[in-house]
Amino acid sequence: MNNDLKEKIKNTIEKASSLVLGQNKLLESIIAAIVLEGHLLIEGPPGLGKTLSVSALSRLCALKFKRIQFTPDLLPSDLLGTMIYNQSADEFKVKLGPIFTQILLADEINRAPPKVQSALLEGMEENQVTIGDETHRIEPPFVVLATQNPIEQEGTYPLPEAQIDRFMMKINVTYPDFESEKKILLLDKKLALLELAPTLEINDLNLLKNDLSAIYVDEKIKDLIVKIVQATRPESNLFQIEYKDIIISGASPRASIWLYKISQFNAYLEGKDFVGPENVLKIVPEVLGHRVLLSYSASIDQMNAKDVVSKIAQSLV
């Protein structure tokens, strides 16, 4: 394990936390998304530092960064790019859209209609975009960090299920505590953001991937991961009868993959060279919560998918 590299990661999170106060869990999740090249969905009311967190960490990781404000009148071509006619050359040329970057901040993604949200699918899954007859590769690492306001707010659209499944985690951002909010009063965010200098380079991220692959995952932990995911599916033999009228659709195999990878990352941050059950259980709500669909009656009873998957996971340990 490269201790210098681990210190760099902790230093990166520490520097970001001096600007984004009281949101350490969010910052760790964004770093995990960048390192693992997974996409992250960040939900919370306006003004809690979601956009600022992404901006700060893109600077600290020295990655190309673009931001798109999703609005009801946004078109897929505004995101992906389009064919433009060059009159002098008598030909069409491709003008690439803002999706061609390394970190894409999709701000308030649920303010745009489904056709725009769906335009992200190919890029998120295959790191490429098709415009006209041509397919264009997106330079790795490519990470979509999407923010959204709570769905009950006016003027929002629910994300398609196919797109939700492509997000490795969904993080709910809460209000800062008293002391953190008091410090915010004296913080000049614009100046502090400009003063941030890179602490991680591309080579560091590549070395980190090698370190993570060396984190040992026992067969029993692998079994636990797959059992947790399969136990959310009504058609599985592992599905518990008490959730028959609560869960109508379970998590996909992508959930198993991300539980495996993120648990390795968490173990690494803790200085361990192996994954324990606690590393898996810690991330179950964020990895499975947005993938498991509850019934209408469960929603009426104000049941929460994150709570449900946590109970399922705990019962299998």
Q: What is the mean pLDDT of residues 24-43?
A: 91
**pLDDT at position 286 over 90:** yes
pLDDT band at 239 (very low <50, low <70, confident <90, very high): very high
Higher pLDDT, residue 141 or 217: 217
Domains belonging to the chain, first-starting first, are 3-206 (3.40.50.300), 215-316 (1.10.8.80)
- Burial zone of 243 (CB within 10 Å; 0-12 exposed, 13-18 middle, 19+ buried): buried
Distance, in Å, from the CA atom of 108 to the CA atom of 96, rounded to the nearest integer, reads 22
Q: Judge residue 260's burial from the number of C-beta atoms within 10 Å of its C-beta, 0-12 exposed, 13-18 middle, 19 or more buried.
A: middle
CB-count burial class (<10 Å; 0-12, 13-18, 19+) for 301: exposed
Amino acid 237: pLDDT: 93
CA neighbor of 211 nearest in space, from 276, 260, 264: 264
- Cα torsion 45, 49, 52, 56 to 10°: value is -140
Predicted pLDDT of residue 1: 60
Please work out, in degrees rounded to the nearest 5, the angle formed at the alpha carbon of residue 100 by the alpha carbons of 58 and 256: 70
What are the two backbone dihedrals, phi and then psi, of residue 112, each rounded to the nearest 5 degrees? -95, 150
Q: How large is the average pLDDT for residues 46-52?
A: 80
Highest mean pLDDT among 9-23, 105-119, 122-136, 220-234: 220-234
Q: Tell me how far apart the alpha carbons of residues 171 and 149 are, in angstroms, rounded to a whole number.
A: 12
Q: Is residue 170 over pLDDT 90?
A: yes
What is the pLDDT at residue 154? 63
Q: What is the CA radius of gyration of the chain?
A: 20
Given this model, what pLDDT does residue 155 score? 67
DSSP letter string over 137-150?
A: EPPSS-EEEEEE--
Q: For residues 278 and 176, which has the higher predicted lDDT (pLDDT)?
A: 278
Q: pLDDT digit string (tens) for 99-113?
A: 999 999 998 888 888
What is the pLDDT at residue 153?
61
More confident call, 176 vs 143:
143
**Burial of residue 50 (number of CB atoms within 10 Å: 0-12, 13-18, 19+):** buried
* Percentage above 70 pLDDT, the chain: 98
Asked whether residue 160 carries a pLDDT value surpassing 90, the answer given is no
Element (DSSP H or E) covering residue 222: helix 219-230
Least confident piece of the model among 57-71, 210-224, 251-265:
57-71
β strands within 3-141, DSSP E: 39-43, 65-69, 81-86, 91-96, 103-107, 128-131, 134-137
Per-residue pLDDT averaged across 184-199, rounded? 80
Residue 311 has pLDDT above 80, yes or no: yes
pTM of the entire predicted model: 0.88
> Average of pLDDT values for 268-293?
93
pLDDT at residue 2 is higher than 70 = no
274: Cβ contacts below 8 Å, ≥ 6 apart: 215, 216, 217, 218, 267
> What pLDDT is stored for residue 197 in this prediction?
85
- What is the per-residue pLDDT across 290-303, written as a single tens digit (0 to 9) for each? 999 999 988 888 89
| Amino acid symbol at 117 | Q
Greatest Cα pair distance, the chain, in angstroms, is 69
What is the amino acid identity at position 190?
K
- As a whole number of angstroms, the distance between CA 95 and CA 265 comes to 37
